[in-house]
Amino acid sequence: MKSLYQIILNEYFEPAMGRAVRVTLAFVLPLIGGLLTGHMGEAVWIALTAQLLSNVLIPGSYPLKILILSGATLAAAICAMLGTMAGHHWLVATLLMMVLAFLGGFVRQTGNFGPGITISVLLLYLLTLDHPGNLHTALHLFAWVSTGGLLAIGFTVLTWAFVPFSPFRRSVALVWKALADWLHAFYEQQLQPHAAQPEVLNPLDEHELSFRQAMNDSMEWLSRKQALSRARLYRNVYQLVELRRLASQLANSLSALRTAVEPYQHDEQFPRETFSYLLDNLSRTTERLAISIISPRRENIYLTHIGLERSRHSANLWIEQLNAMPNASSFKITEAIRSIVDILFHQFEEALQILDSWISHRTDFTLFLRQFITSASIPQTIPWVRFPMSFQSFIFRYALRLSLAMGIGVAIYKYFHIPHGYWLAMTTMIVLQPEFGATLQKAFQRVQGTLGGVIVGTMLLWLHLPLVINLGIVALCSFLMAYFIQRRYAIAAFFITIMVIALFHLLEPVNWQLGLIRLLVTLGGSALALLGGYAFWPYWEKYRFPALIRQAIAANTAYLQFIANALAGQRISFQQLLPYRRKAEISNQNAFLSLRRMQEEPEIHQQFLPDYFIMLGHQIRITRLLNTMALHILETNPVEELHRLKNLFDQLHHIIQQTHDTLASMDQPTASPMTRQTDEWMKTWRSLSKEILTDISSHMPWWVTWLDQLYREIIGLYETVWRIKEKST
């Protein structure tokens, strides 16, 4: 179990408890009103809608959240009307379900909020199928569902009034939290130095990719241009962007430090223990800094200062021990490492200077008003739903799959008049994910949680609990469901099942048969989802990954050429470098996510998976080496001393470009002239490197190490591509 401190710490970054309280209040308050007024039927519809829409995760500003929730409320109310009027006819209900599910398949692929809105809207359609009626009844349901949606919007507005600027603060704080997790993974790697395999991805690589994803998410909701346009009204908005920039530069420094240290970590004299202390202190300092961004209280910032001083002491001690290593070139090596460490601490100090300026001696209404107006006026891009009507589209295939599977579920339910049969299509909708591996995992979690919930819920029925206690069980289960739904879905499904049984018991007396029906229909819906995921036009990752890795190699090729141009004398700035670096890192992240999805698929569709991981490992290390070289060029500007390296970079550029072209022609016969040309480039590189690297080895030995590593990684990538090509032909 997590410690209380860790739970509170996580609440800073992802306020799951706050959201769970909001969801529970939105659900329980209408139920209490219904019990007091005797209008329980209307209250249930209001409560269900408010709970479903309050539980939707919508990142970004509060005005954007309100806009999206308003659209979801209207869609839910219309679908409730349609469900009521179609409930009399199984064929009409089925066809309408297929149309709505097809549209929902596209919505589900739109942003982080897509799945929540799709499930909410389609679930209300399914529930109203069990309450057929005429237009008058449908209009009543439209009003009740709309009221529930307005209640969810009201709680969002209330949250906005208390913490108007929190979404933007949190998006930047999560970047620093991801950096802290990356540092902690680096620290843990020192405790198990022989656990990582050099050729494949390890947890440290994965944390690096997670940091890049957090950066992209934050930039999506608050760009530098938006911050500059609002800085005059509220200067903290621009300082937030500066903090994110510093996190990005710190990540680059950390990547460079890892590259500089790796060749010497296997030396028995390497001061590993002191280095691990340094990383642990930096990780704790970074985490505390992330907390200070969300909650800039004096004590948080003071503790961050203390952590940074402790880290600086560890760094000085570590560098002293590096100097004492019995290595002829240790002084030059330490000089490069010291330079990186100095840059890293300078970036931390810049971040702390910004936080120091946030310490306020008093809080006034003017400051609150500035935060509120700024949060309301920052323009946000509306995430419009895309409808790619092509059978080659991954989204289109998923929409078809969802439409057919849910249509079958509704047809079975309505044609055979299965009691509570809407749970069949509902389970199919929840379990059926865009990827088969995720569908399989979701099905197992759903069945596992439902089985446990049925057992416990049925036992509670036998106790004949008073009404107040039964309502308390509903409220508690609603809270725990909302808390766990993004963390442990099996636990959430357990509490959902108990909540449903208790809610039915509030309306009318029920027996053990309700739990049995819930379990059997859940099993049927999960089986239907698995059938749909495997048989209805799946799109396996083995068809997507080659294109993604080609994009990643092309991005690294352009990045390498950019650095080569800088070595030739072209002056570069951080802003010029950033697009090349970001494109390489985003491409690596996309390829990594594809491989993670492939791991969850059936083994028959995992062809070349180990080789793909090796290939991506080379890719990530190439990007890291290029980041290290770029950092050194930006900070020291050694172009005059390194201009001769341009010839070496040209040969490496030819080889990596040839690798990209080979991957693009994977299904074509092997071309001997291509391999001979690559051999010539490799031979030229080795010949030039003997002369050029010898000249710079005396005063810049780290560049010799970096170039040797870069050459080996590019050759490793090239050989892996050819190994896959030979296997495939």
Q: Is residue 385 part of a domain?
A: no
- pLDDT at position 163 is 64
pLDDT, mean of residues 423-436? 92
Residue at which a domain ends, from 504, 535, 566: 535
My answer on whether 228 and 286 are in the same domain is yes
Q: Is the pLDDT of residue 245 over 80?
A: yes
Residue at which a domain ends, from 315, 347, 375: 375
Q: What is the 3-state secondary structure (H, E, C) of 263-293?
A: HHCCCCCCCHHHHHHHHHHHHHHHHHHHHHH
478, 28 Cβ separation under 8 angstroms: yes
- pLDDT at position 1 is 43
My answer on whether 55 and 96 are in the same domain is yes
Q: Is the pLDDT of residue 223 over 70?
A: no
Q: Is the pLDDT of residue 231 over 60?
A: no
For the chain, percent of residues with pLDDT exceeding 70:
87
Residue at which a domain ends, from 493, 520, 535: 535
Extract the tokens encoding 586. Answer: 């985003």
Q: Is residue 178 part of a domain?
A: yes
How far, in Å, CA of 39 to CA of 43, rounded? 6
Q: Locate tokens 């929540």: which residue?
A: 116
Between residues 232 and 288, which one has the greater pLDDT?
288
Q: Is residue 387 part of a domain?
A: no
pLDDT, mean of residues 10-25? 82
Structural domains in the chain (count): 3
How far, in Å, CA of 63 to CA of 378, rounded? 9
pLDDT, mean of residues 549-554? 94
My answer on whether 316 and 446 are in the same domain is no
Q: CATH number for the domain including 173?
A: 1.20.58
My answer on whether 223 and 134 are in the same domain is no
- pLDDT at position 522 is 93
My answer on whether 122 and 142 are in the same domain is yes
Q: Is the pLDDT of residue 225 over 70?
A: no
The amino acid sitting at 259 is T
Q: Is the pLDDT of residue 76 over 90?
A: yes
- pLDDT at position 587 is 92
My answer on whether 153 and 177 are in the same domain is no
- Helix spans in 14-56 (H): 16-37, 40-54
My answer on whether 88 and 40 are in the same domain is yes
Confidence of residue 388 (pLDDT cuts 50, 70, 90): confident
Q: Which segment, 52-66, 377-391, 482-496, 555-569, is predicted with the most confidence on average?
A: 482-496
pLDDT, mean of residues 154-168? 75
For the chain, percent of residues with pLDDT exceeding 90:
41
- pLDDT at position 64 is 82
Q: Is residue 386 part of a domain?
A: no
Q: Is the pLDDT of residue 167 over 50?
A: yes
pLDDT, mean of residues 102-127? 92
My answer on whether 238 and 317 are in the same domain is yes
Segments forming the whole domain that contains residue 675:
541-728
My answer on whether 369 and 401 are in the same domain is no
pLDDT, mean of residues 560-564? 89
Confidence of residue 256 (pLDDT cuts 50, 70, 90): confident
Q: Is residue 381 part of a domain?
A: no
Confidence of residue 162 (pLDDT cuts 50, 70, 90): low
Q: Is the pLDDT of residue 164 over 70?
A: no
Q: Is residue 105 part of a domain?
A: yes
Other C-beta atoms closer than 10 Å to the C-beta of 13 total: 18
pLDDT, mean of residues 71-91? 95
141, 128 Cβ separation under 8 angstroms: yes
- pLDDT at position 679 is 73
Collapsing DSSP states into helix, strand and coil, what is residue 402?
helix
My answer on whether 134 and 55 are in the same domain is yes
Confidence of residue 575 (pLDDT cuts 50, 70, 90): confident
pLDDT, mean of residues 3-7? 61
Q: Is the pLDDT of residue 31 over 90?
A: yes
My answer on whether 152 and 180 are in the same domain is no
User: pLDDT tens digits for 608-628?
Assistant: 889 999 999 999 999 989 988
- pLDDT at position 376 is 59
592, 201 Cβ separation under 8 angstroms: yes
Q: Is the pLDDT of residue 531 over 80?
A: yes
Q: Is residue 383 part of a domain?
A: no
109, 396 Cβ separation under 8 angstroms: no
- pLDDT at position 161 is 65
Extract the tokens encoding 457. Answer: 């819920």
My answer on whether 296 and 437 are in the same domain is no
- Going 311 to 313 to 317 to 322, the CA torsion angle's sign is positive
**Nearest C-alpha neighbor of 152 from the set 211, 85, 74:** 74
Q: Is the pLDDT of residue 43 over 70?
A: yes
Confidence of residue 62 (pLDDT cuts 50, 70, 90): confident
pLDDT, mean of residues 415-423? 91
User: pLDDT tens digits for 701-715?
Assistant: 777 888 888 889 999
- pLDDT at position 668 is 59
Q: Is residue 382 part of a domain?
A: no
At residue 55, φ and ψ (nearest 5 deg) are -85, -5
Other C-beta atoms closer than 10 Å to the C-beta of 516 total: 12
pLDDT, mean of residues 181-196? 80
Q: Is the pLDDT of residue 367 over 50?
A: yes
Confidence of residue 666 (pLDDT cuts 50, 70, 90): low
- pLDDT at position 699 is 67
Mean pLDDT of the residues in the chain: 85
pTM summary value: 0.85
Question: Of 256-265, 567-576, 714-723, where does mean pLDDT reach its minimum?
Answer: 567-576
Confidence of residue 328 (pLDDT cuts 50, 70, 90): very low
Confidence of residue 38 (pLDDT cuts 50, 70, 90): confident
Between residues 190 and 136, which one has the greater pLDDT?
136
467, 626 Cβ separation under 8 angstroms: no
Q: CATH number for the domain including 617?
A: 1.20.58.220
How far, in Å, CA of 545 to CA of 552, rounded? 10
- pLDDT at position 287 is 93
Q: Is the pLDDT of residue 556 over 70?
A: yes
- pLDDT at position 448 is 93
Label residue 92 exposed, middle or buried (CB < 10 Å: 0-12, 13-18, 19+).
Answer: middle
Supply the Cα-derived Rg of the chain in whole angstroms: 29
Between residues 586 and 680, which one has the greater pLDDT?
586
- pLDDT at position 232 is 56
How far, in Å, CA of 494 to CA of 63, rounded? 34
Confidence of residue 58 (pLDDT cuts 50, 70, 90): confident
